[in-house]
Structure 1
């Protein structure tokens, strides 16, 4: 039973890692200073943001490393890459050293790669320790990645709120410190222990409690970050945020207390068997154990097992020839079917999904990278850190909401691809709002909507990829999917930078050769183009939902039928 408490310790360690390794989200907080020190144009600055996202192209290297090295070495390799990548940038921005642009580009690439390695470590820990509730574990831990920028902003305000380069130093040091803190529970990772059905339900309740604590953390950061104007209050608020991150440690304590209660207090009041029982107690316990093991095996059946597949096929056959024609047009027949690389790239549903992500979540990420210049162009430079926190907190809540389908499944079932389409809707609304108004309130509302939308997409993507294209190949398939991030970062970022620099004549020249643009025109066309592209992504997600809706319905009917039969 000690293994049950240790797995929750691992989950808490994973939360800490995710909470402090989303370092790419605070790029906009120091990007203007980096641009000034390097004396580069907006296009060149965009290439640095692309370099950070380009690390995701090499995310497969972390999976390869796990094949040959233990998990803790991959964790510290990620920490070391981030330490070097961000540390060298800090030396450059503080004028300790002078490096050519290409070296800074490579440092950004290394820093971005470290984030992918951290994510891989967290994914492996969640999947290996919570196989029955992996979607809940993944959505919870990935959610905390979205709050990183808010935590770093609090730390920045608590130390020196007049030095934006401090972000880079914190990005280099804090993940390394967290890695040392997380190493003990990772090294003491328990062996896998299959859970009985009541254990799975008990874990689900624990996840519900953790989600409530996570929501409390997000509300705290969102409401009180604006009150951190002076160093003293910022330090108090940062301390409060750390306490909220420590609170999940109570979960292992609850597990230990429950086990102690069952082993001592409850056992001391246990009634002895009646003389009228005609079954030997030892045989009864053996029979219960056999039933528990059988139920446990059934609870771990995944989407593509024969019992579900056969039921799905039966339901599909009963729906008539029209549906058979739809299936023959390339639609998915059964959720969770494993796809090879060739099958994946030849499937229409994958490319619809790719376009939806490319024109949805990726736009949100590029928006966050440009948030510093957007605020500066609209005369809101003093509120850049507040906007970064707002985007971060909204992304955090969006990621938390991605677990909603799993919690309301018993009362209301809706295809996860349908939730994806709903999540994409706020992005075009926000972008067209930003194009139509340059007020501070419009900027805040638009930032919140984009953060909420992109956060949901980022967190839900792993589960959707697993359901549509198979759980066993999710590592490879998802890495193929997120190749759209560096591509989108390059295309969208260059588009924004060209529009920005073209309006430089309406702005001013800084002390360096870089252009500082002022006014709504700096990003007006960018918002319009991004808005139109996000509508394309929304349309693609709707088509994907229409094509997969029946497949999800069949699977849910099969799941209910198999539960009734068992």
Structure 2
């Protein structure tokens, strides 16, 4: 295969990964329909928290996907992962719409674990394709594509808002969570694959492509934020779906331009810059931030806010920028021969989260929106940085397995911190399973703020211990 054709497939595979990541955050839209699900299944707050944990618990078995990538074709891994999600969310949808007998709570719990595991399969393929197909630009490739997973909750929220009434929100999310990943996996599986002769491709035009991709990604993020805040004149859910859909198609311009160059129609697309080779992989979420987002529906409800969907979209949009930020910083400083300390960045990012939880002690809606935005940005950024640090310390060997072993910390933290929040919520409630007022989560916010403060100290300790290693890179 000619090198130019391989370059077209190289960029096309990255566009496919962007699409996969855009629909793969099915666990992040749980807060948008959790209240409806709680009432539909007559669950307590503790049981609802356990369902949020169940979605994260699927990551305990993520190493299966790591092994599958080593032995199976990538297209088959995608189909397996999306089929698992179809079963996990699909049976819940059939139950809540009375197409099958009502499922017991523990059946729903197990199906949620299964659905949570499906995310690992698509994630692993996405990371492996980005790293293998862009060995000299893996920082940019994984950083940009993974930022789109932060946009996933907003995409689902807008589609549900456009297609379903407010009384059928839970049904809408469960239906989309089950069928949309499978549809996108089928569409992208032919070109989301390894490029066999990738090592023979010259890197002369990679910078130009990534500069264009960065611009497209930033524009997408800005549009996402302003549409989430309702700042657009025609900011309806349908218009948001159309706008985001168009922006998701725009990255196709890069492989199109590569094809035009291959045909000899474009001779001057060239941006020669010397770049440092960087390693970059991704985590899922920081634990406390993830638990906050999982409980966002109940937090908003307890404060008398009816705009849970807007808050989920807001956290998703700012999480998008948070995931992208480390990649932009690394790209900028690498050209100036500076090395950014990732443990130091983690410390800088965890500190504002502590302040955000203290700000939530204020009962105004403004404090809720500001804190949600800050926590969204910080958790998204820490997501990208944490596994990147692990990859630097332990290398690329067995990456797919190592990554999925690392994310085991997420369900553990989700269960412990979420269980505490549920206990406080129940104790402060009025006996009918519902709690109203700032006191519902007051002690929880104080605990989470303390944990983030402790995390800041630990990140500083990690920075001190790895400083010599970072300076020798």
Asked whether the 8 Å contact 1:82–1:172 carries over to 2, the reply is: yes
Q: What residue number does 1:36 align with?
A: 39
Residues 409 and 302 (structure 1), Cα distance of their counterparts in 2 relative to 1, 3 Å cut: closer
1:491-537 superposed Cα distances (whole Å, 9 cap, x missing partner):
011000000000112xx73xxxxx11100010000000011011111
Aligned counterparts of 2:278 and 2:37: Cα–Cα separation in 1 = 48
- State yes or no: 1:172 paired with 2:90: no
Aligned partner (choices 120, 127, 132) of residue 128 of structure 1: 132
Q: What residue number does 2:105 align with?
A: 101
1:48-81 superposed Cα distances (whole Å, 9 cap, x missing partner):
1111001111110002222332111110111111
Asked whether the 8 Å contact 1:417–1:544 carries over to 2, the reply is: yes
Aligned partner (choices 67, 73, 78) of residue 75 of structure 1: 78
- State yes or no: 1:402 paired with 2:292: no
Aligned counterparts of 1:15 and 1:429: Cα–Cα separation in 2 = 33
Q: What residue number does 1:283 align with?
A: none
Aligned counterparts of 1:261 and 1:421: Cα–Cα separation in 2 = 49
- State yes or no: 1:211 paired with 2:221: no
Aligned partner (choices 241, 255, 259) of residue 258 of structure 2: 255
Matched residues, number: 457
Asked whether the 8 Å contact 2:357–2:449 carries over to 1, the reply is: yes
Mean CA deviation greater in 17-26 or 92-101? 92-101
**1:62-461 → structure 2 map (5 Å cutoff):** 62-96=65-99, 97-162=101-166, 163-165=168-170, 166-186=172-192, 189-194=194-199, 199-200=202-203, 202-227=205-230, 233-261=236-264, 361-380=286-305, 382-403=306-327, 404-411=329-336, 412-435=338-361, 437-461=362-386
Aligned counterparts of 2:234 and 2:461: Cα–Cα separation in 1 = 51
* Structure 1 residue 19: Cα displacement: 0.3
Aligned counterparts of 1:301 and 1:145: Cα–Cα separation in 2 = 24
Aligned counterparts of 2:232 and 2:277: Cα–Cα separation in 1 = 52
Aligned counterparts of 1:160 and 1:445: Cα–Cα separation in 2 = 28
* Structure 1 residue 390: Cα displacement: 0.6
Residues 551 and 255 (structure 1), Cα distance of their counterparts in 2 relative to 1, 3 Å cut: same
Aligned counterparts of 1:50 and 1:547: Cα–Cα separation in 2 = 32
Over aligned residues, Cα RMSD in angstroms?
2.4
Q: What residue number does 1:52 align with?
A: 55
1:174-220 superposed Cα distances (whole Å, 9 cap, x missing partner):
11111111022136x53233257xx4352133122212211111111
* Structure 1 residue 143: Cα displacement: 0.6
Asked whether the 8 Å contact 1:35–1:45 carries over to 2, the reply is: yes
Q: What residue number does 1:479 align with?
A: 404
TM-score, with normalisation over the residues of structure 2?
0.91
Asked whether the 8 Å contact 1:84–1:107 carries over to 2, the reply is: yes
Aligned counterparts of 1:418 and 1:300: Cα–Cα separation in 2 = 20
Asked whether the 8 Å contact 1:432–1:531 carries over to 2, the reply is: yes
Q: What residue number does 2:25 align with?
A: 22
Aligned counterparts of 2:232 and 2:145: Cα–Cα separation in 1 = 29
Residues 71 and 139 (structure 1), Cα distance of their counterparts in 2 relative to 1, 3 Å cut: same
1:9-62 superposed Cα distances (whole Å, 9 cap, x missing partner):
110000000000101100011111111121111111111111100111111000
Aligned counterparts of 1:205 and 1:6: Cα–Cα separation in 2 = 16
Aligned counterparts of 1:376 and 1:82: Cα–Cα separation in 2 = 28
Q: What residue number does 1:538 align with?
A: 456
Mean CA deviation greater in 74-83 or 156-165? 156-165
- Which structure has the bigger radius of gyration? 1
Mean CA deviation greater in 479-488 or 517-526? 479-488
Residues 212 and 231 (structure 1), Cα distance of their counterparts in 2 relative to 1, 3 Å cut: closer
Secondary structure class of the residue paired with 2:191: helix
Asked whether the 8 Å contact 1:227–1:234 carries over to 2, the reply is: no
Mean CA deviation greater in 154-163 or 474-483? 474-483
Q: What residue number does 1:2 align with?
A: 5
1:243-278 superposed Cα distances (whole Å, 9 cap, x missing partner):
10000000001112223337x979xxxxxxxxxxxx
Aligned counterparts of 1:302 and 1:16: Cα–Cα separation in 2 = 24
* Structure 1 residue 479: Cα displacement: 2.6
Gaps of 5+ in 2: 269-273
Q: What residue number does 1:499 align with?
A: 424
Asked whether the 8 Å contact 2:67–2:401 carries over to 1, the reply is: no
Residues 135 and 40 (structure 1), Cα distance of their counterparts in 2 relative to 1, 3 Å cut: same
Mean CA deviation greater in 249-258 or 232-241? 232-241
Residues 405 and 256 (structure 1), Cα distance of their counterparts in 2 relative to 1, 3 Å cut: same
Asked whether the 8 Å contact 2:79–2:182 carries over to 1, the reply is: yes
* Structure 1 residue 134: Cα displacement: 1.1
Residues 471 and 21 (structure 1), Cα distance of their counterparts in 2 relative to 1, 3 Å cut: same
Asked whether the 8 Å contact 2:66–2:404 carries over to 1, the reply is: no
Aligned counterparts of 2:142 and 2:63: Cα–Cα separation in 1 = 19
Aligned counterparts of 2:10 and 2:457: Cα–Cα separation in 1 = 41
Secondary structure class of the residue paired with 1:150: helix
Aligned counterparts of 2:277 and 2:220: Cα–Cα separation in 1 = 34
